[in-house]
Amino acid sequence: MLSLFSLQLWSWMCPSLTILYSAEFWGDIAKDFFWKTKHTGQFLDYNFDVTKGEIFVKCMGGASTNICYNLLDRNVHEKKLGDKVAFYWLGNEPGDEMMVTYRELLQRVCQFANVLKSQGVKKGDCVSIYMPMVVELVIAMLACARIGAIHSIVFAGFSAESLCERILDSQCSLLITADGFYRGDKLINLKLLADEALRKCREKGFPVEKCIMLKHLSKETEETALGSQSPPAKRSCPDLQVPWNPDVDLCWHTLLLGASDECEPEWCESEDPLFILYTSGSTGKPKGVLHTVSGYMLYTATTFKLVFDYQPEDIYWCTADIGWITGHSYITYGPLANGATSVLFEGLPTYPDVSRMWEIVDKYHVTKFYTAPTAIRLLMKYGSEPVQKYKRESLKVLGTVGEPINPEAWLWYYNVVGEKRCPIVDTFWQTETGGHVLTPLPAATPMKPGSATFPFFGVVPAILNESGEELEGPSEGYLVFKQPWPGVMRTVYGNYQRFETTYFKKFPGYYVTGDGCRRDKDGYYWITGRIDDMLNVSGHLLSTAEVESALVEHESVAEAAVVGRPHPVKGESLYCFVTLSEGVMYNHTLEAQLKKQVREKIGAIATPDYIQNAPGLPKTRSGKIMRRVLRKIACNERDLGDISTLADASVVEQLFQNRCTTAV
C-alpha cells in the first residue's frame, strides 16, 4: 500500500499530470468490467468553467454497459462467485437473520425487473423507493438499474410531505414501499406515510398510478401470497396499519408469482442516468443530484477497493442507511462491483443494547467497518466496557464519514474499538461527489486524527479565498475541485440552472463544495464544516431554510431563523428562533406543536432541539437576518464581533436574556 500513497501524493502535487494519467489509470480499471460497446475518444471530457459555456462532464463516451450486469451477472458467471454471500441481513430484532448469495440476488433482481416491466416501467422512467433496510431495497434499486429505469430512493425516516415533494420533483410514476418496520422498539407505519404522500401528490395534480408494497412485518406465507389483492394479515404486529387501495396498491409478493428469473439487461450509454438522490439545498428545496452509469460504477468500485483495502475474504459492514449516498455507493454499488460480502443491518447501534454493533462484528467476523462520527460519539458515552465485552479480533480497517470527526472521537475509535491495530479512513465526500474524494489509504497514508488527509486519485482540490484566489501552502478557505473525476454528479435533475448556480457560479472554473477547509504545513486537508446555510445533524445535511419554512407554516409564527448549536453526540443541534404573530402568546403547547410540525414536514432528523421565543430578530438595515449573531446567542458567546450594521442592537440583549438552556 505504501506505493499507493506515493502515487496519491504524486497525483496531488502534479495536477497537470493527473489529467494524463487519470485516463490511463481509469482505462485500466475499466478493463475489468463488461462493456457491450467500447468507448471512443477521450476518457473524460468536461467543462468546469461557466465563462466558457455549459458545465458538463462526460465519461467513456460511446461505451454502453449495464451496471446491474457488472455487479451480478459478471460476478456469478465470469468470476464464479455465484455461491458467495452478497449480504448477511440482520433485522432490528436479534436473531432475525438471513443471507443471500450472488446467484440468488441475481435471480431475485431479474424477477423483480420483470415485475417492473410488467407494470410498464421503461428505460428512462423514474421510480421512487421508500423502504427500510431490507434486501428487497437492494433488489428494487438493482432491478431499476437492470432495465435502465432511474431510481430515486427516499430515506424511510423522511416524512410523507418530504416524500411527496421528491415524487413531484422527479415525476415518478411508481412508488415501491413496505408495510412498516421497527427502529428499536418504535414501529414505523411506512405504508400509512406512503399513502399520505400519494394523497398529497394527487391533491397537487400528480396522481401516482401504482404503489408496490413489500410485506416486511406481516411476513409472507404461501396462502397470503396467493390471496392477491388483499392487504396483509396483521400477525406479529397488532399496531401495524396497512391501508389498501386496490386501484393503486399492488403486493410485491403476488407480483412475483410467475415472474421469470431471467431478464436481459438494458444496455445503457455511459452517460444515461442511473439514479437521483435528493440532498438538502440552501434555498430549502431539495436538489435531485443525478449520477450516471459508467463513471459512477468505476468510481464507487475503485474507491471501495482501495480505501477499504478490499480483499476477497473480507466481511464488510457499512452501518449507513441506503436512503443516503453512503448506502448507495458503499452498501450497494461499490461492494457488489467487487464481489464483496457485506452485512446489511436494519437496526440501531443501541438496540437492544449498546453492544449490538460489536456483537455483530464478532458473530460475522467483520473485517472492514464503516460508520459515522455521530454513532462513535453516541457509543463513546457508554464507555469502553460494552465494546470490550466482545473481541473484535477480525477488524482490520475502520472508516468514518458524514461530518468532521473530532480528535477525541477519532482516538476512542482508534484506541478502544480498533485497539490501535486498525487504520482509520476518514473519508470526506458528498452526495454530489458520488464517492470518496479526500481520504487516507489504509496503512499507507500516515494519519492525523480529524484530517481526511489527501485527495483520491484524479481528484485535484484547491483552497480559495473570498476573492477566488488559490491559496498555496498552509491556508484556510473554500474547498473546491479543479477538475472532475468519473463519479461526480452530472446535474440537478430537471434543473440545470440550479446545478450551475449552486456549484459553479461563485468561483468560475471550480466545483464548489460548500465546505470550509484548512491545509496544514504537511499538506493535510482538514474540513472545517459547511460555510453555507446548511447544518449537519448526526451526519445528515439539513438546510436552515427548510426548517424555517416548516416553522412559519404554523399560523402562530410570523418569522423564524434557525442556526446550529454544537452538540456532543449529533455534531450540531437545531436552535430555532421564532417571532410570533401579533397577539399570540408563547407557551409549552405551542412549543410542542412547532416541534411536531417540523417533524411532520421534514422528518424526525429535523426535530428542533431548542425553540426560543424571539419578539425581534437581529437584522441589518436592509432587513437581512444576521445569523452570525444568532449563532453566538445560541452558544451564549458574548464576543459578537462587528455589529455596527444592525438596525436595532437592543434585540440582541433581549435574546441573550431569554436564551434557551434546556432542550425542548
Choice between 91 and 539, CB closer to ligand WTA: 539
**Other beta carbons less than 10 A from residue 428's beta carbon:** 27
Dist. CA 438–CA 66, nearest whole Å: 28
Dist. CA 84–CA 658, nearest whole Å: 61
Among 253, 530, 595, 632, binds ligand WTA (CB under 6 A): 530
Is the torsion defined by CA of 24, 25, 31, 35 positive or negative? negative
* Smallest distance from ligand WTA to CB 400, Å: 6
Query: Is residue 402 close enough to count as binding ligand WTA by CB under 6 A?
Result: yes
Choice between 128 and 279, CB closer to ligand WTA: 279
Q: Which residues are CB-contacts of 111 (< 8 A; sequence separation ≥ 6)?
A: 256, 259, 260, 261, 263
Is the torsion defined by CA of 284, 286, 287, 289 positive or negative? positive
Query: Is residue 428 close enough to count as binding ligand WTA by CB under 6 A?
Result: yes
Among 104, 179, 266, 426, binds ligand WTA (CB under 6 A): 426
Report DSSP state, residue 149: P
Q: What is the size of the binding site for ligand WTA (CB under 6 A)?
A: 22
- Scanning the structure block, which residue is given the C-alpha cell 480528535? 407
Can you say how many angstroms the Cα of residue 517 is from the centroid of all Cα atoms in its chain? 21
Dist. CA 605–CA 547, nearest whole Å: 11
Dist. CA 24–CA 7, nearest whole Å: 14
Choice between 231 and 516, CB closer to ligand WTA: 516
Q: Is 256 exposed, middle or buried (0-12, 13-18, 19+ CB in 10 A)?
A: middle
Query: Is residue 338 close enough to count as binding ligand WTA by CB under 6 A?
Result: no
Choice between 39 and 530, CB closer to ligand WTA: 530
Choice between 69 and 369, CB closer to ligand WTA: 369
| Site string (451-470) toward ligand WTA, x via CB under 6 A | -x------------------
Instruction: Give me the amino acid identity at 227.
Output: G
Dist. CA 647–CA 255, nearest whole Å: 64
Query: Is residue 303 close enough to count as binding ligand WTA by CB under 6 A?
Result: no
* Smallest distance from ligand WTA to CB 82, Å: 32
Q: Hey, what's the cell of 336? A: 457488489
* Smallest distance from ligand WTA to CB 280, Å: 8
Choice between 279 and 341, CB closer to ligand WTA: 279
* Smallest distance from ligand WTA to CB 542, Å: 10
* Closest-CA residue to 424 (of 403, 410, 404): 410
Choice between 148 and 295, CB closer to ligand WTA: 295
* Closest-CA residue to 575 (of 605, 549, 544): 544
Choice between 211 and 274, CB closer to ligand WTA: 274
Query: Is residue 536 close enough to count as binding ligand WTA by CB under 6 A?
Result: yes
Query: Is residue 287 close enough to count as binding ligand WTA by CB under 6 A?
Result: no
**Other beta carbons less than 10 A from residue 650's beta carbon:** 10
For residue 537, the cross-strand partners are: 540, 571
Among 401, 416, 437, 550, binds ligand WTA (CB under 6 A): 401
Of 114-122, 159-167, 512-520, 635-643, the window that binds ligand WTA (rule: CB under 6 A) is: 512-520
Query: Is residue 404 close enough to count as binding ligand WTA by CB under 6 A?
Result: yes
Choice between 265 and 440, CB closer to ligand WTA: 440
Choice between 162 and 326, CB closer to ligand WTA: 326
For residue 426, the cross-strand partners are: 400
Among 165, 179, 309, 403, binds ligand WTA (CB under 6 A): 403
* Smallest distance from ligand WTA to CB 225, Å: 37
Query: Is residue 556 close enough to count as binding ligand WTA by CB under 6 A?
Result: no
Choice between 349 and 564, CB closer to ligand WTA: 564
Among 73, 179, 266, 515, binds ligand WTA (CB under 6 A): 515
Is the torsion defined by CA of 140, 145, 149, 152 positive or negative? positive
* Closest-CA residue to 398 (of 379, 413, 383): 413
* Smallest distance from ligand WTA to CB 324, Å: 6
Dist. CA 441–CA 425, nearest whole Å: 7
289 and 276 Cβ atoms separated by less than 8 Å: yes
Can you say how many angstroms the Cα of residue 41 is from the centroid of all Cα atoms in its chain? 33
Dist. CA 581–CA 594, nearest whole Å: 14
Query: Is residue 321 close enough to count as binding ligand WTA by CB under 6 A?
Result: no
Among 107, 177, 513, 573, binds ligand WTA (CB under 6 A): 513
Note the residues at the interface with ligand WTA (CB under 6 A).
279, 324-326, 401-404, 426-431, 452, 513-515, 527, 530, 536, 541
